[in-house]
Amino acid sequence: MTAPTEATPEAPEENLGTPTGWRGPIAPLNAWSGDGRWLALEDGAEMQVRPLPQPFKAQIADAPGHDNSVVVGLTDTVWLEDGMVWGEGPFDLHDEVARDWADKLGRGFAGWVSLDPSDVTIEEVLIDPDGNEITPDMIPDDPDAPEEAWPVVAEIRQRYSTWKFAGATLVSSPAFETAKVEPTWDVYPDGAEDAQAALTAAAGVQTGAMIALVPSDPGVFAVDGGDPADEMHLTLAYLGEAIDWTPEARTELMDAVMGVAAEPVDAAAMGFAILNPAGTEPATVHLVGDAPGLEPLRLAIRDVLDSTPGLPTIPEQHDPFLPHITAGYGVPVTDLTYTGPVVFDRLRIAFAGVAADIMLGADALAAAGQHTWSWAAFHQPEPDEYTTLTVTEDGRVFGHLGQWGVCHNGIGSSCVTIPPSPTGYRKFHRKPIPTDRGQIEAGILTMDTSHPSVDPRAGLSSAAVVRHYDHTGKFVAMVRAVDGRVGPWLSGQVAPWCDPMDAVKLGHCFVSGDWRGGGGAPKDLRAVLAVNVEGFSEKSRAVAASGADTEALVAAGIPVDALRRRHQPQPAVSEDQVRGAVRSLFAEIFEERERDQRLRGVDQSMKQVRVENAERRLGM
């Protein structure tokens, strides 16, 4: 989060023409919006902000969410003031559409604005007829309590318990009536040329793409006033502008780079230098050498870029190659102190600040091929009744992905059911693994991430969807899927590198599938994700509503696509739907209570075992 300027948004006494920037309140915190959303932030907590600048957009036509929006400038400063999120930034006055919006703002015909959040965690909140939140202590302990003992639900709202600021959009109907920005002429006083220069300079660090090595201990290279530790890297190839890379090209690159076998690169930080000292932004860098594995890896990356079809033209690279880690721009070289060994243990592919890291040597997928798995674990018989995800003490994982013929509870009034696999789950079984009875193919069970968008307009190919799961979450288990009697049946084994606490956590999760089709092809399972709420079960506990799509089906009770439509008013809810939602929430609370009781029982049993073991050791 950055500090505001001292400039005021008040218009000058005489008209100075098109405003060069904007400034004002974007959204209130800890207050309900007109469409039933709440941006939560505890007192004294710091607001999370994506690396600035972020887009400042304008919605050219009413549409769900912020669809039909175009970038008209930047948000380069964000702060909190009087319980509101405030921001400011320049307009892109070299763009005709952006200039028109700046003129509208200057004439008072625009300014209503809506915040764009990212990395959102949503809590469904039930509201009674008096506008109060229904809390668990208002629910009877007895599930068979008479109807009058249960609270009445008048409305279902959404609380964003965690979120990041990711920009703002000019709209015609803001969610918060107090969200309205003003034009500025004094923040960027030199007019259009100055605003454009600020736009270009601010955006430059966010628009490029690269492949880089990341040190295992980046903190030793960070200095006060320089780049943050998590941005320390050694660039192997500059890929040009991220906007030139389509989702398909990014996926092709990721697939190709994944095929470059490499071990961690041992090197040494050997000294310091200032690059481009006569330029406007001299870079202060750590010089890296004594790295025999560096040049072979760089050449292998170059071969990938030259031989992979469908990639954009790669810009000419600096010659000769000078390995270095940039500490910052304008940082005194005397502030750099570290020399000594450095290990690069990751490859990073970054597009405009969005990065995916590939582990070197210890990559989990490589480890999967080296570990011998239990054949029996992947062929666990299906029981006769629906079974939620189960993790045993010896590491077996099994359970149903859902039930045949049960409507997904998170897709509004449409009845969407699980499709059988047209390929025998070959699209999901992507990883050959050795077992004690020979090689089989299995799929990855992922945890601690979200489903990618199910909006077909998002442009996510099936390969990009798979890559999303492989690179944004934890690889905790391998499983095989079959079309069972009750529903799709999963069985497999916890990964040997899985942290024991992650295995315990997995045992308390449900599983959610991601089915993708498109182009006339039927939907097929592409990925399986551990989630808090299941979507295709008669005992499901989700309370959500979202429109169905024609290209993808995400089985979580609260699909990510609901976030893309977060500004769309929810459809009217019938009495039966509300009653069903309430029952689902109550069922969830009862199940959580039962689970807590079971965990307390397990804890008590473990204590007893420890006491008995101690008594035996003492001969008591």
Which distant-in-sequence residues (6+ apart) come within 8 Å of 255 by Cβ?
Answer: 463, 467
| Residues 605 and 499 grouped into a single domain | no
Task: Classify 407 in phi/psi space as left (phi over 0), alpha (psi -120 to 50) or beta.
Answer: beta
| Residues 265 and 247 grouped into a single domain | yes
Does 615 reside within a domain?
yes
What's the domain range around 180? 21-189
How far is Cα of residue 485 from the mean position of the Cα atoms in its chain?
A: 34
Share of the chain above pLDDT 90, in %: 18
For residue 92, pLDDT over 90 is answered with no
| Residues 275 and 168 grouped into a single domain | no
Radius of gyration of the chain (CA): 27
Q: What is the mean pLDDT of residues 17-35?
A: 85
| Predicted pLDDT of residue 435 | 81
Which of 160, 189, 218 lies at the terminal end of a domain, its last residue?
189
Q: What is the mean pLDDT of residues 57-65?
A: 66
- Contact between 555 and 512 under an 8 Å Cβ cutoff? The reply is yes
Give the angle 256-471-306 at the CA atoms, nearest 5°. 20
What CA–CA distance (Å, rounded) separates 171 from 527? Answer: 36
| Residues 40 and 143 grouped into a single domain | yes
Does 195 reside within a domain?
no
pLDDT tens column, 451-506 = 444 433 333 444 444 444 444 457 788 999 999 998 999 999 998 777 777 777 78
Cis peptide, bond prior to residue 53, ω within 30 of zero: yes
| Residues 482 and 424 grouped into a single domain | yes
Q: What is the mean pLDDT of residues 139-162?
A: 76
Least confident stretch, 192-196, 503-507, 537-541: 537-541
More confident residue, 363 or 53: 53
What CA–CA distance (Å, rounded) separates 29 from 120? Answer: 15
Cα dist. 73→23, 112, 564 in Å?
A: 12, 15, 21
Least confident stretch, 79-93, 158-172, 580-594: 580-594
The domain total for the chain is 4
| Residues 221 and 124 grouped into a single domain | no
- Contact between 595 and 603 under an 8 Å Cβ cutoff? The reply is no
pLDDT tens column, 389-423 = 888 888 899 999 888 887 765 444 456 778 888 88
328 band by pLDDT with thresholds 50, 70 and 90: very high
| Residues 103 and 180 grouped into a single domain | yes
Eight-class DSSP state of 41: -
Which of 135, 163, 189 lies at the terminal end of a domain, its last residue?
189
| Predicted pLDDT of residue 551 | 38
- Beta-strand ranges (E) seen in 372-420 are 390-391, 396-400
- Beta-strand ranges (E) seen in 450-587 are 474-483, 488-494, 510-518, 521-531, 552-554
| Residues 427 and 467 grouped into a single domain | yes
Which of 362, 389, 409 lies at the terminal end of a domain, its last residue?
362
Does 10 reside within a domain?
no
For residue 238, pLDDT over 90 is answered with yes
Tell me the three state secondary structure of residue 94: coil
| Residues 234 and 352 grouped into a single domain | yes
User: How buried is residue 528: exposed, middle or buried, by Cβ count under 10 Å (0-12/13-18/19+)?
Assistant: buried
Give the angle 540-541-547 at the CA atoms, nearest 5°. 85
Does 214 reside within a domain?
yes
| Residues 484 and 499 grouped into a single domain | yes
Per-chain mean pLDDT for the chain: 74
| Residues 554 and 425 grouped into a single domain | yes
- Give the tokens for residue 615: 């008594």
| Residues 387 and 412 grouped into a single domain | yes
Does 148 reside within a domain?
yes
* Angle in degrees, 0-180, between the axes of helices 294-307 and 247-258, rounded to the nearest 10: 140
Does 547 reside within a domain?
yes
Does 200 reside within a domain?
no
Does 598 reside within a domain?
yes
